[in-house]
Amino acid sequence: MQYTDQQLVTQAIEVAGRAYAPYSRFHVGAVLVGKDGRTFAGCNVENISYGLTICAERNAVFAAVAAGCREFERIVIVADTEVPASPCGACRQVLAEFNPDLEVVLSNFRGLSETFRLSELLPRPTAGILDRP
């Protein structure tokens, strides 16, 4: 099953509505699409320590891996902003672990979107680390 970006944005807005974000009140939703066609949703879950907060994107990745999916083709990330919100560095690195060239669709709640390759957002994620002698 192939999903349109708009269908995935709708799903991501739904999951953003379940974000636990009492501290920032910034609700983020992410839907990750596996190469096998399955989708995995995540929302941000904050913590009173602040530092233990997990972003929507990483929660989507962890749900996918737990369900046995490690190959991804696209992620759609939504937030209620004017300019589509961009994933943090930690999430970029975690996504790059599985597909450094992932398609990344950023959208606001009105469906205004921009599409990138993860390699544009995080170039050379493993250079000098995994190619050690």
Only one of the segments 7-15, 21-29, 64-72, 92-100 lies at the binding site for ligand THU (rule: CB under 6 A); that segment is 21-29
Helix runs in the chain, H state only: 5-16, 56-66, 89-98, 118-121
Asked if 130 contacts 97 with a C-beta cutoff of 8 angstroms, the reply is no
Burial zone of 9 (CB within 10 Å; 0-12 exposed, 13-18 middle, 19+ buried): buried
Instruction: Identify whether 57 is a catalytic site residue.
Output: yes
Query: Three-state SS for 92?
Result: helix
DSSP annotation of 54: B
Q: Could you say which of 15, 56, 69, 78 contacts ligand THU (CB under 6 A)?
A: 56
> Does 10 interact with ligand THU (rule: CB under 6 A)?
no
119 binds ligand THU (CB under 6 A): no
**In whole angstroms, what separates CA 34 from the centre of its chain?**
12
In this complex, which beta carbon is closest to ligand THU, that of residue 68 or of residue 89? Answer: 89
Q: In this chain, which of 13, 28, 94, 118 binds ligand THU, going by CB under 6 A? A: 28
Residues that bind ligand THU (CB under 6 A): 21, 24, 26, 28, 44, 46, 53, 55-57, 77, 85, 87-88, 91
